[in-house]
Structure 1
Amino acid sequence: MSAAAPAMNRAALRGANELPAPVSGQRHEIGSPVGRLTYYSASPETPGKFPPLLLIHSINAAGSAYEIKPLYEHYRGSRTVYALELPGFGHSDRGEREYTVRMMTDAILIAVQEIQSDHGRDPIDALAVSLSSEFLARAITEAPLAFRSAALVSPTGFRSNDGSTKWRDGTRGKPWLHALFEFPLWSKGFFRLLTSRSGIRYFLNKTWGSRDIDEGLLEYDYLTTRQPGAQHAPYYFVSGFLFSEDITRIYHSLTLPVWMSHGVRGDFVDYTNKTQVEGRANWTIRVFSTGAMPHFEAEAEFIAAYDTFLAGVPSASAL
């Protein structure tokens, strides 16, 4: 078990509202059109040669910046890193409201503005996990000069049946399903059942494709799902409202260097449709012998491969 897990257990005993920080560094809270946003930042004592790196967690019942903790803690030693917690997750606003693709994309763009206010307008590197890869890709199409490169870890939108949706607008949202989940009689109770420790372990086993999961992540997932309003954004997720029908078109439109990685175990291994981008000069695709969280399972191998990619990305002065 991770060394962080016992501390998290003690926090759980003290009270669910005491959600610890998912990563080290400085915590920032800003008011924004998409509600209160929380992000974390850390910088090395001696600035490195690379621009800031923005890291974005995945979307699921228990999403938080803890999902990118290994990368954040590694890269803070050589460059300025930022970890954003998207609306409805972590320490950001979890109010009962509509959670949309637009909201998530705007949150990323707002975070980029904050980074630029600290570091100037040179383009940054950004990495997102799973469904958040779709939001990052969309943000890049709307502010292409703000990004130097994009890393998509286990991105959604590449299943065998995703290619046929590329010219559609809208999302895969099912209003009836969302209404069912949010019905007051069982909304909170069902979410608590879904996110029991055994429930979280079950879903992490499916994510890893193995029972050898990260125990620290499991404990943090449990704590973050016990926060007030924790069910609202996940219910929009499982009802399909955060999946874009036009994501294939969005991926096709990216012109900056893109590093895509995914694993081969677990429930998230259908990348049949990656052939749509596989031959593009600006796309690099790396497959790891892991589940959907290769940066946890094969941290050193993942970082080495990502560093090799970054070393080949033109500097801001060359763009």
Structure 2
Amino acid sequence: MAPRSRSLALAALGSAAAYAAWSRYRAARPAALPPALPGRRERLDTARAGGVSLYGSAEAEGTPLLLVHSINAAASAYEVRPLYLHYRTRRPVYALDLPGFGFSERSRRLYTPRLMVEAIHAVAGTIRARHGGVPLDAVALSLSAAYLARAVLERPDAYRSLGLISPTGFDARLSGEGPPDGHRGRDGVRDALDVPILGRALFDALVSRPSMRFFLQKTFGSARIDEGLLEYDQATAHQPGAEHAPFCFVAGHLFPTDTTRLYEDLRLPVWMIHGERGDFVDFHRAPRFADRPNWRIERLPTGAFPHFERPDAVTARYDAFLAAITAPPA
């Protein structure tokens, strides 16, 4: 190696080591994560998904509603906050932190769709046991829509209806008719990312405030993001172990191979809503489901999180869907 090249390589290595050291010892990380939602928060010790955090507000009567957040570098139950706040005075409402996020277990392990489905099974079972075993209504965001769809197919008696907000799997890239219950993970990518100290340094750069604002603007399709969501994303992404699930996300382990098949097999009432702006609004395969009698598909002039931008419109449409499926026959 030429002297100049050797000097540049050593300088780059030194910079990487310095940044890793700063990330390890100097990067600001909150000592405690505040709750994402009001109400009771508890930790369920599950056999297959580890410790799972569950928020609940059960003062009102009615059919319980389960809300499931999306998957990204800083996901948490805060992503369903507008829906949770709206419904907590109208019916029992619950929201979980999926494994690897929020207050749930963030251990260094392989995070896959199966792990997420097991967490949903455990939470749904707990909720039903507290409400006389009645079937639930459930709503999921983005990639988690596929996990919820699988949970519904595996335990159809546990659910009355399924809501999908900006669900993944209706574009050419992430639709799937591959092996059932599989994932798109590349172990080599995850191993390269998940290197102690250096991996955390890389993650800290990924979830820096400018980077996080950039990705939220892509999600909202606008510079007018929800600032409360940004602040909570900052807090949750700088907790110990926060990098493990996102590394599996980046490496593909959290993307199912059979998403399209899951949606096609659904027989219970399905409500789907999505936006029109931003980087996550490709739903060109949605028309194949629009004519199905159990599906209702709607859209709003928003980004991928319409419940943050137009909460009244989203809840009104969802309530109309539920009223239609529960109305007595004419």
Call closer, same or farther: CA 1:277–1:294 in 2, change over 3 Å: same
- Deviations, residues 263-293 of structure 1 (Å, cap 9, x unaligned): 1100001111112312111000010100000
What is the aligned partner in structure 1 of residue 23 from structure 2? none
Q: CA deviation at 1:14?
A: 9.6
- Deviations, residues 14-56 of structure 1 (Å, cap 9, x unaligned): 9613100000000111111211111010123x52xx3000001
What is the aligned partner in structure 2 of residue 40 from structure 1? 55
* Stretches of structure 1 lacking an aligned partner (at least 5 in a row): 1-12
- Deviations, residues 154-209 of structure 1 (Å, cap 9, x unaligned): 1001103445x314342211111111111235210010000011111000000000
What is the alpha-carbon distance in structure 1 between the residues aligned to residue 112 and residue 102 of structure 2?
Answer: 17
Structure 2 residue corresponding to 1:28, chosen from 42, 50, 53:
42
Which one-letter code corresponds to 2:32 in the other structure?
Answer: E
What is the alpha-carbon distance in structure 2 between the residues aligned to residue 19 and residue 167 of structure 1?
Answer: 38
Give the 5 Å matches for 1:250-265.
Answer: 250-265=262-277
Please tell me whether the aligned partners of residues 29 and 235 of structure 2 are also in contact (alpha carbons under 8 angstroms).
no
Q: Give TM-score scaled by structure 2 length.
A: 0.88
What is the aligned partner in structure 1 of residue 6 from structure 2? none
Give the 5 Å matches for 1:1-319.
Answer: 16-33=30-47, 34-44=49-59, 46-47=60-61, 50-163=62-175, 165-169=176-180, 170-314=182-326
Call closer, same or farther: CA 1:192–1:167 in 2, change over 3 Å: closer
Please tell me whether the aligned partners of residues 29 and 238 of structure 2 are also in contact (alpha carbons under 8 angstroms).
no
What is the alpha-carbon distance in structure 2 between the residues aligned to residue 246 and residue 105 of structure 1?
Answer: 14
* Stretches of structure 2 lacking an aligned partner (at least 5 in a row): 1-26
Which one-letter code corresponds to 2:58 in the other structure?
Answer: S
Please tell me whether the aligned partners of residues 160 and 271 of structure 1 are also in contact (alpha carbons under 8 angstroms).
no
What is the aligned partner in structure 2 of residue 5 from structure 1? none
Please tell me whether the aligned partners of residues 72 and 82 of structure 1 are also in contact (alpha carbons under 8 angstroms).
yes
Which one-letter code corresponds to 1:37 in the other structure?
Answer: V
Q: Radius of gyration: which is bigger?
A: 2
Please tell me whether the aligned partners of residues 185 and 251 of structure 2 are also in contact (alpha carbons under 8 angstroms).
yes
Partner SS, residue 157 of structure 2: helix
Please tell me whether the aligned partners of residues 52 and 79 of structure 1 are also in contact (alpha carbons under 8 angstroms).
yes
- Deviations, residues 75-117 of structure 1 (Å, cap 9, x unaligned): 0011000011100000000000111111100000000111011
Which one-letter code corresponds to 1:22 in the other structure?
Answer: A
Call closer, same or farther: CA 1:272–1:88 in 2, change over 3 Å: same
What is the alpha-carbon distance in structure 2 between the residues aligned to residue 32 and residue 99 of structure 1?
Answer: 15
Partner SS, residue 326 of structure 2: coil
What is the alpha-carbon distance in structure 1 between the residues aligned to residue 162 and residue 288 of structure 2?
Answer: 17
Q: Percent identity?
A: 47
Q: Give TM-score scaled by structure 1 length.
A: 0.91
When the two chains are superposed, the root-mean-square deviation of aligned CA atoms in Å is 1.7
Which one-letter code corresponds to 1:30 in the other structure?
Answer: L
- Deviations, residues 105-144 of structure 1 (Å, cap 9, x unaligned): 0000000111011002111100000001000000000000
Which one-letter code corresponds to 1:168 in the other structure?
Answer: P
What is the alpha-carbon distance in structure 1 between the residues aligned to residue 326 and residue 183 of structure 2?
Answer: 34
What is the aligned partner in structure 2 of residue 4 from structure 1? none
Which one-letter code corresponds to 2:163 in the other structure?
Answer: A
Count of aligned pairs between the two proteins: 301
